[in-house]
Protein backbone atom coordinates (compact mmCIF):
# COMPACT_ATOMS: atom_id res chain seq x y z
CA UNK A 1 0.00 0.00 0.00
CA UNK A 2 1.28 3.48 -0.93
CA UNK A 3 2.41 5.78 1.84
CA UNK A 4 0.09 8.80 2.31
CA UNK A 5 1.52 12.15 1.25
CA UNK A 6 0.48 13.92 4.47
CA UNK A 7 -0.73 12.14 7.58
CA UNK A 8 -2.08 13.48 10.86
CA UNK A 9 -1.59 11.00 13.69
CA UNK A 10 -3.64 11.64 16.83
CA UNK A 11 -3.13 15.38 16.55
CA UNK A 12 -4.41 17.75 19.24
CA UNK A 13 -3.77 21.47 19.50
CA UNK A 14 -4.19 23.79 22.47
CA UNK A 15 -4.09 27.58 22.41
CA UNK A 16 -4.58 29.86 25.41
CA UNK A 17 -5.52 26.79 27.47
CA UNK A 18 -8.31 25.95 25.01
CA UNK A 19 -8.47 22.69 23.07
CA UNK A 20 -9.01 23.67 19.43
CA UNK A 21 -8.28 20.34 17.71
CA UNK A 22 -8.82 17.01 19.45
CA UNK A 23 -7.21 13.66 18.55
CA UNK A 24 -7.41 14.25 14.79
CA UNK A 25 -6.15 11.49 12.49
CA UNK A 26 -6.32 11.50 8.72
CA UNK A 27 -4.33 10.50 5.63
CA UNK A 28 -4.34 12.85 2.62
CA UNK A 29 -4.03 11.01 -0.68
CA UNK A 30 -1.45 12.24 -3.18
CA UNK A 31 -2.88 13.89 -6.28
CA UNK A 32 -6.32 14.40 -4.71
CA UNK A 33 -8.22 17.46 -3.52
CA UNK A 34 -9.54 17.44 0.04
CA UNK A 35 -11.91 20.11 1.36
CA UNK A 36 -12.13 20.88 5.08
CA UNK A 37 -15.56 22.23 6.00
CA UNK A 38 -17.55 23.06 9.09
CA UNK A 39 -19.23 25.93 10.90
CA UNK A 40 -17.33 29.00 12.03
CA UNK A 41 -15.00 28.16 14.90
CA UNK A 42 -15.03 24.42 14.21
CA UNK A 43 -11.24 24.25 13.87
CA UNK A 44 -10.97 23.68 10.13
CA UNK A 45 -8.40 26.44 9.51
CA UNK A 46 -6.36 25.18 12.45
CA UNK A 47 -6.43 21.66 10.98
CA UNK A 48 -5.22 23.13 7.67
CA UNK A 49 -2.33 24.95 9.36
CA UNK A 50 -1.40 21.83 11.31
CA UNK A 51 -1.50 19.81 8.09
CA UNK A 52 0.83 22.36 6.50
CA UNK A 53 3.31 22.32 9.37
CA UNK A 54 2.60 26.00 10.06
CA UNK A 55 1.40 25.08 13.56
CA UNK A 56 3.14 22.45 15.69
CA UNK A 57 0.77 19.95 17.34
CA UNK A 58 0.48 19.98 21.13
CA UNK A 59 0.12 16.21 20.85
CA UNK A 60 0.56 13.77 17.99
CA UNK A 61 2.47 14.07 14.71
CA UNK A 62 2.01 15.49 11.24
CA UNK A 63 4.08 13.60 8.69
CA UNK A 64 5.04 14.41 5.10
CA UNK A 65 6.04 11.33 3.14
CA UNK A 66 6.43 9.52 6.45
CA UNK A 67 8.68 12.17 8.05
CA UNK A 68 7.49 14.16 11.07
CA UNK A 69 7.45 17.78 9.86
CA UNK A 70 8.22 19.14 13.33
CA UNK A 71 11.33 16.93 13.53
CA UNK A 72 12.75 17.84 10.10
CA UNK A 73 16.19 19.41 9.94
CA UNK A 74 16.71 22.64 8.01
CA UNK A 75 17.53 20.91 4.72
CA UNK A 76 14.51 18.60 4.94
CA UNK A 77 12.21 21.46 5.88
CA UNK A 78 13.47 23.62 3.03
CA UNK A 79 12.79 20.77 0.58
CA UNK A 80 9.29 20.39 2.01
CA UNK A 81 8.62 24.13 1.72
CA UNK A 82 9.73 24.07 -1.91
CA UNK A 83 7.19 21.34 -2.69
CA UNK A 84 4.38 22.76 -0.53
CA UNK A 85 2.79 26.22 -0.52
CA UNK A 86 0.16 27.91 1.62
CA UNK A 87 -2.35 30.64 0.80
CA UNK A 88 -3.52 32.07 4.12
CA UNK A 89 -6.97 33.50 4.74
CA UNK A 90 -5.47 36.88 5.67
CA UNK A 91 -2.89 36.67 2.82
CA UNK A 92 0.03 36.99 5.30
CA UNK A 93 2.06 39.44 3.20
CA UNK A 94 4.98 41.17 4.89
CA UNK A 95 3.94 44.72 5.83
CA UNK A 96 7.52 46.06 5.69
CA UNK A 97 8.27 44.72 2.20
CA UNK A 98 6.84 45.70 -1.14
CA UNK A 99 4.99 43.21 -3.34
CA UNK A 100 8.03 42.53 -5.53
CA UNK A 101 10.16 41.64 -2.50
CA UNK A 102 7.46 39.28 -1.19
CA UNK A 103 7.38 37.49 -4.53
CA UNK A 104 11.12 37.46 -5.09
CA UNK A 105 11.98 35.92 -1.72
CA UNK A 106 10.74 32.35 -2.44
CA UNK A 107 12.72 32.29 -5.68
CA UNK A 108 15.88 33.56 -3.99
CA UNK A 109 15.43 31.00 -1.22
CA UNK A 110 14.61 27.92 -3.30
CA UNK A 111 16.45 28.74 -6.53
CA UNK A 112 19.62 30.57 -5.42
CA UNK A 113 21.28 30.19 -8.83
CA UNK A 114 18.43 31.87 -10.69
CA UNK A 115 19.50 35.29 -11.94
CA UNK A 116 17.45 38.45 -11.51
CA UNK A 117 16.25 38.51 -15.12
CA UNK A 118 14.83 35.01 -14.79
CA UNK A 119 13.25 35.85 -11.43
CA UNK A 120 11.58 38.87 -13.03
CA UNK A 121 10.25 36.69 -15.85
CA UNK A 122 8.82 34.13 -13.42
CA UNK A 123 7.16 36.85 -11.35
CA UNK A 124 5.67 38.53 -14.43
CA UNK A 125 4.29 35.21 -15.69
CA UNK A 126 2.60 34.34 -12.41
CA UNK A 127 1.16 37.81 -11.94
CA UNK A 128 -0.33 37.58 -15.43
CA UNK A 129 -1.83 34.20 -14.54
CA UNK A 130 -3.62 35.58 -11.47
CA UNK A 131 -4.65 38.80 -13.21
CA UNK A 132 -2.76 41.31 -11.06
CA UNK A 133 -1.98 44.42 -13.13
CA UNK A 134 -0.97 47.09 -10.61
CA UNK A 135 2.47 48.27 -9.51
CA UNK A 136 4.58 45.62 -7.71
CA UNK A 137 6.74 48.19 -5.91
CA UNK A 138 4.10 49.10 -3.34
CA UNK A 139 3.43 47.88 0.20
CA UNK A 140 0.46 45.57 0.88
CA UNK A 141 -1.29 48.32 2.86
CA UNK A 142 -1.95 50.17 -0.42
CA UNK A 143 -3.79 47.18 -1.89
CA UNK A 144 -7.35 46.04 -1.37
CA UNK A 145 -7.95 42.73 0.41
CA UNK A 146 -8.82 41.18 -2.93
CA UNK A 147 -5.55 42.37 -4.48
CA UNK A 148 -3.65 41.03 -1.49
CA UNK A 149 -5.31 37.64 -2.08
CA UNK A 150 -4.11 37.66 -5.70
CA UNK A 151 -0.54 38.36 -4.57
CA UNK A 152 -0.71 35.63 -1.91
CA UNK A 153 -1.90 33.14 -4.52
CA UNK A 154 0.82 34.25 -6.94
CA UNK A 155 3.47 33.79 -4.24
CA UNK A 156 2.22 30.25 -3.60
CA UNK A 157 2.38 29.42 -7.31
CA UNK A 158 5.92 30.67 -7.92
CA UNK A 159 7.75 27.44 -7.09
CA UNK A 160 5.19 25.29 -8.94
CA UNK A 161 4.21 23.33 -5.81
CA UNK A 162 3.13 19.70 -5.83
CA UNK A 163 1.15 20.29 -2.63
CA UNK A 164 -0.89 23.43 -1.95
CA UNK A 165 -2.95 24.53 1.05
CA UNK A 166 -5.73 27.07 0.44
CA UNK A 167 -7.54 28.79 3.30
CA UNK A 168 -10.66 30.63 2.03
CA UNK A 169 -8.57 31.81 -0.91
CA UNK A 170 -11.48 33.32 -2.86
CA UNK A 171 -12.81 35.53 -0.04
CA UNK A 172 -12.77 39.29 -0.75
CA UNK A 173 -12.33 38.70 -4.50
CA UNK A 174 -14.62 40.08 -7.17
CA UNK A 175 -16.39 37.49 -9.30
CA UNK A 176 -13.94 37.68 -12.22
CA UNK A 177 -10.89 37.27 -9.98
CA UNK A 178 -12.51 34.42 -8.06
CA UNK A 179 -13.32 32.61 -11.31
CA UNK A 180 -9.75 33.09 -12.49
CA UNK A 181 -8.24 31.60 -9.32
CA UNK A 182 -10.73 28.73 -9.28
CA UNK A 183 -9.71 28.05 -12.88
CA UNK A 184 -6.04 27.94 -11.85
CA UNK A 185 -6.87 25.49 -9.06
CA UNK A 186 -8.71 23.35 -11.60
CA UNK A 187 -5.54 23.24 -13.71
CA UNK A 188 -3.49 22.27 -10.66
CA UNK A 189 -5.99 19.51 -9.96
CA UNK A 190 -5.73 18.25 -13.55
CA UNK A 191 -1.95 18.06 -13.07
CA UNK A 192 -2.58 15.88 -9.99
CA UNK A 193 -1.33 18.49 -7.56
CA UNK A 194 -2.37 17.56 -4.03
CA UNK A 195 -4.74 20.26 -2.78
CA UNK A 196 -6.03 20.75 0.77
CA UNK A 197 -8.51 23.58 1.05
CA UNK A 198 -10.88 25.33 3.41
CA UNK A 199 -13.98 26.89 1.87
CA UNK A 200 -17.52 27.79 2.86
CA UNK A 201 -18.62 27.93 -0.80
CA UNK A 202 -20.48 24.73 -1.63
CA UNK A 203 -20.13 25.39 -5.37
CA UNK A 204 -16.35 25.33 -5.06
CA UNK A 205 -16.44 22.20 -2.93
CA UNK A 206 -18.68 20.34 -5.37
CA UNK A 207 -16.56 21.43 -8.32
CA UNK A 208 -13.12 20.62 -6.92
CA UNK A 209 -13.13 18.23 -3.97
CA UNK A 210 -12.46 14.50 -4.24
CA UNK A 211 -12.94 14.21 -0.48
CA UNK A 212 -14.76 16.41 2.02
CA UNK A 213 -14.02 16.34 5.75
CA UNK A 214 -16.72 17.72 8.04
CA UNK A 215 -15.05 19.11 11.17
CA UNK A 216 -17.07 19.83 14.31
CA UNK A 217 -15.60 20.88 17.64
CA UNK A 218 -12.07 20.29 16.38
CA UNK A 219 -12.80 16.65 15.54
CA UNK A 220 -13.34 14.75 12.31
CA UNK A 221 -17.11 14.24 12.29
CA UNK A 222 -17.62 12.69 8.87
CA UNK A 223 -15.87 12.09 5.54
CA UNK A 224 -17.65 12.40 2.21
CA UNK A 225 -16.49 11.54 -1.31
CA UNK A 226 -17.39 13.42 -4.48
CA UNK A 227 -19.94 10.70 -5.26
CA UNK A 228 -21.61 11.14 -1.86
CA UNK A 229 -22.22 14.85 -2.27
CA UNK A 230 -23.35 14.64 -5.90
CA UNK A 231 -25.63 11.62 -5.57
CA UNK A 232 -27.08 11.79 -2.03
CA UNK A 233 -29.28 14.86 -1.52
CA UNK A 234 -29.66 14.26 2.22
CA UNK A 235 -25.88 14.29 2.70
CA UNK A 236 -25.63 17.35 0.48
CA UNK A 237 -28.17 19.21 2.63
CA UNK A 238 -26.34 18.16 5.80
CA UNK A 239 -23.09 19.41 4.34
CA UNK A 240 -24.68 22.70 3.35
CA UNK A 241 -26.21 23.15 6.80
CA UNK A 242 -22.83 22.42 8.42
CA UNK A 243 -21.06 25.00 6.29
CA UNK A 244 -23.60 27.72 6.97
CA UNK A 245 -23.97 27.08 10.72
State the pTM of this model: 0.92
Q: What is the pLDDT of residues 170-199, one digit of tens each?
A: 988 889 989 999 999 999 999 999 999 999
6-97+161-244: which CATH number, 3.40.50.1360, 3.90.420.10, 3.40.50.300, 3.40.50.10490?
3.40.50.300
Measured distance CA(59)–CA(70) in Å, rounded: 11
What is the residue extent of each domain of the chain?
A: 6-97+161-244
Share of the chain above pLDDT 90, in %: 75
The pLDDT value given to residue 16: 84
Average pLDDT over residues 121-136: 93
Amino acid sequence: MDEPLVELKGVSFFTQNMLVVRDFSYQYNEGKTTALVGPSGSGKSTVLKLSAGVLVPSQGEVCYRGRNIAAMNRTENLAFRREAAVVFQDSALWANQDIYQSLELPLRLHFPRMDKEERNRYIAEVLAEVGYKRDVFVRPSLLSMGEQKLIAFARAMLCRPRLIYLDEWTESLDDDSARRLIGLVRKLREKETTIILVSHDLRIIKALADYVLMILGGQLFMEFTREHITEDEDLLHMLEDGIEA
